[in-house]
Chain A
Amino acid sequence: MLKLVNVNKIFHPGGVNEKVALKEVTLQVQPGEVVTIIGSNGAGKSTLLNVVAGVYGVEGGKVILDNQEISHYPEHFRAAWIGRVFQDPLQGTAASMTLEENLTLALRRGHPRRLRWGITSAERRLFKQNLALLGLGLEERLAARVGLLSGGQRQALTVLMATIATPKLLLLDEHTAALDPRTAATVMDLTEKIIAQHRLTTLMVTHNLEQALRAGSRTIMMHEGKIILDLHGSERERTTVAQLLNMFERASGNSLVNDRVLLS
């Protein structure tokens, strides 16, 4: 499904601030696979997702989605196949537009935007159904501005927006990190439900090691722009959070404990 071959990402190449954020990263993700990504601050997790989404071009290597090389397509072009949820709840929605407008924009992902009437009544019904599944009462607030919603509500909405036009690939970058624990759990449940329902191929960055092992079917660990650990199958099932920490320390020669990785 998704294949990265020797991908290099260098910020400010040749300058004093040169920063190699991804080093020869190779990764192959099977259709329907849900990969959780962990690693210390600055490891390159967000950069990896951004390179897949096309926010940044690559300085070497290939990004291949569904047997098609997409390395040179601009972000808005790749967006036809890729759904994204960002860490900041404010980043995934347009605050001054209404819920139904936001959802309509999301539903049109992958389609040209024409001089055609924005929202049909059939679409409004679809939005209501989908919003009702969130269990937040948002189905009654289609005409409310998104700016009036809480962070958790906005993030739940963003998850729905990223998946309402079913993507080939879903990218989640610590999308519950900015929420309080209870809301985070709700949004996470919802995310897992939607992923299962559509069998979405997913890359999910998280700082929660327990979650990284529990959710999905595979866990990769990054450090200094490289994938240093790739766990799946029974090996992954047997791994505990403590072991994961150990593996990180051995592989990187660093201690994760000082980092902001959450142990619980």
Chain B
Amino acid sequence: MSLGIWLGSLEQGLLWGAMVLGVYITFRVLDYPDLTVDGAFTLGAAVAAHYILLGGNPWVAVVIALFSGAAAGLITGLLHTGLKVAPLLSGILTMIALYSINLRIMGQANLSLLRVKTIFNQVLNIPQLDTFGPVILGLLVTLVVVSLLYLFLQTELGMSVRATGNNEQMIRSLGVNTSTMKLVGLATGNALVALSGGLVAQYQGFADIGMGIGMIVAGLASVIIGEALVGNQTLIRAIIAAIVGSIVYRAVISLVLQLGLPATDLKLLTSLIVVVALSFPLVRQRLGLRSLRLRSEQNAEASQREQNLSSRRG
């Protein structure tokens, strides 16, 4: 493979990295199977593209995308905490609603950014930087996002969000309103996803109504790959794992495309990666991903624990 393709995978992995971190936050940290992601990614792209086409600053566009994603996450969270809609359905409802909203924001199914200023064609104009411009930008953005996220997850608020995903009963008995923490977690996760959407739209030079389809599965595949390669023993490791997973996933995709697989089969391939990974009990156990498993399976585990307890009690 040529340098260009490796460089391309690296660029993509970094720019889609925020999306993977978003999935990591909702699925892993908060243990919430959030399907808002597909809609939130496109939302970020749509909002950023629309704002740039209005003559806005492309960096400001990214920030606006971030906030739009947070709003989408909040809505999913409110459906769940306020109206008691099941987690899966709450995300689906928002995702479907966002399809219409995204179309309204864009006004059409596709917005081209080829003739306007984006963060990428700005750096591409800097001599000597052109080839590595996108990678450097991606690295910068990733560095900022990873650092802020790492710091956030160690604040009082961030720790409470993590504890909510880890042991809801416990953290409630320590005086934390877990509904609020779910809102915070979902808003944070989807903010990152939309941020990624805003970056990707500028990178590709267009926003498209279908660009978020399957994002959730791509994100999961990346998280799984990352945790298998890097591990998740510590917080910083788990965060870096998401980024590494994102890059490796994009590299795998480019490689497979190189080998002649039609691009239209990519979604099938991504699903297969996740299915295969989840079918290894060991992987499943180590990665947790509790929110992905059937309730019955979790219950079986819980009653197993009960049994151990009572047998020990004699």
Residues of A within 8 A of B (CB): 53, 74-77, 79-80, 82, 84, 86-88, 90-97, 101, 104-106, 108-111, 113-119, 145, 161, 177-180, 260
| Residues of A contacting B55 in the complex (Cβ-Cβ under 8 angstroms) | none
Q: Are B160 and A105 in contact, CB atoms less than 8 angstroms apart?
A: yes
25 CB < 8 A contacts A-B: A53-B173, A76-B175, A79-B173, A79-B176, A84-B173, A91-B167, A91-B170, A93-B167, A94-B163, A95-B166, A96-B166, A105-B160, A105-B163, A108-B156, A108-B175, A109-B175, A113-B160, A113-B176, A115-B156, A116-B155, A118-B154, A118-B155, A118-B158, A177-B313, A178-B313
B159 contacts A118, CB within 8 Å? yes
- B115 sits at the interface (CB 8 A): no
The answer to whether B159 and A76 have CB atoms under 8 Å apart is no
Q: How far is the CB of A116 from chain B (nearest CB, A)?
A: 5
Interface residue from B170, B178, B288 paired with A92 (Cβ < 8 Å)? B170
List 9 additional A-B contacts (Cβ < 8 Å) besides A95-B167, A115-B157. Answer: A74-B177, A94-B170, A96-B162, A101-B163, A104-B156, A104-B159, A108-B156, A116-B155, A161-B174
Q: How far is the CB of B187 from chain A (nearest CB, A)?
A: 13
The residue in chain A whose Cβ has the minimal distance to the Cβ of B306 is A88
CA A85 to CA B313, docked complex, whole Å: 18
With a cutoff of 8 Å between Cβ atoms, the chain A residues found around residue B167 in the complex are: 90-91, 93-95
| A116-B156 contact, Cβ under 8 Å, with A94-B167, A105-B163, A177-B313 | yes
User: Taking CB as reference atom, which chain B residue is nearest A81?
Assistant: B175
In the complex, which residues of chain A have a beta carbon less than 8 angstroms from the beta carbon of B176?
Answer: 76, 79, 105, 113
A90→B167 CA distance, assembly (Å): 9
Task: Check if B174 sits within 8 Å of A105, measured CB to CB.
Answer: yes
A253 to chain B, nearest CB (A): 26
Q: For the complex, give the distance between the alpha carbons of A117 and B154 in Å.
A: 7
Name the interface residues of B151-210: CB closer than 8 Å to any CB of A.
152, 154-160, 162-163, 166-167, 169-178, 181
Contact partner of A178 (CB less than 8 A), chosen from B158, B178, B312, is B312
Total A-B residue pairs with C-beta atoms closer than 8 Å?
A: 100
Residue of B nearest to A117 (CB): B155
Query: Contacting A94 at CB < 8 Å: which of B158, B171, B313?
Result: B171
Q: Would you call the interface of chain A mostly helix, strand, loop, or mixed?
A: loop
Q: Take A90-B305, A91-B167, A94-B162 as given contacts and tell me if A113 and B173 are in contact as well, using a CB distance cutoff of 8 Å.
A: no
Closest-by-CB residue of B relative to A78 is: B175
Minimum C-beta distance from B51 to chain A (A): 27
What bracket does the count of chain B residues touching chain A fall in? 20 to 34
Closest to A77 in B: B175
Residue of B nearest to A148 (CB): B233
Interface residues in B200-247 by Cβ distance below 8 A to A read 233
Q: Is B83 an interface residue (CB 8 A)?
A: no
| Cα(A87)–Cα(B308), bound, Å | 13
Q: Is the CB of B174 within 8 A of A109?
A: yes
Instruction: Give Cα A254 to B264, complex, Å.
Output: 71
Does B1 make an interface contact (CB < 8 A)?
no
Chain B residues, Cβ within 8 Å of A108: 156, 174-175
A115-B155 contact in complex given A94-B171, A180-B312, C-beta closer than 8 Å:
yes
The reply to whether B175 and A114 contact each other, CB–CB distance below 8 Å, is no
Supposing A76-B175, A80-B175, A105-B171 touch, asked if A88 and B305 sit within 8 A by C-beta, the answer is yes
* Chain B residue, CB-CB nearest to A119: B154
- Closest chain-A Cβ to B25's Cβ sits at a distance in Å of 14
Contacts of A115 in B (CB 8 A): 152, 155-157
B259 an interface residue at 8 Å Cβ cutoff?
Answer: no
Contact B166 A97 (CB under 8 A): yes
Task: A77 to B166: give the CA distance in the assembly, Å.
Answer: 20
Distance in angstroms between the alpha carbons of A101 and B174 in the assembled complex: 13
- Return chain A residues, CB-CB under 8 Å to B54: none
User: In the complex, are the beta carbons of A113 and B312 less than 8 A apart?
Assistant: no
Chain B residues in 8 Å Cβ range of A75: 172-173
Residue of B167, B178, B233 with most chain A CB atoms under a 10 A cut-off: B167
Measured between beta carbons, the chain B residues less than 8 angstroms from A114 are 155-157
The CA of A177 and the CA of B166, in the complex, are separated in Å by 23
Max chain B CB contacts within 10 Å: which of A53, A93, A113, A145?
A113
Complex-state Cα separation, A63 to B238, whole angstroms: 44
Given A53, A93, A117, which contacts B170 in the complex, CB threshold below 8 Å? A93
| Alpha-carbon separation in the docked complex, A53 to B152 (Å) | 30
Interface assignment of B309: CB less than 8 Å from any CB of chain A: yes
Measured between beta carbons, the chain B residues less than 8 angstroms from A77 are 175
* A177 → B minimal CB distance (Å): 6
Q: What's the least CB distance linking A147 to chain B, in Å?
A: 9
In angstroms, Cα B312 to Cα A87, docked, is: 13
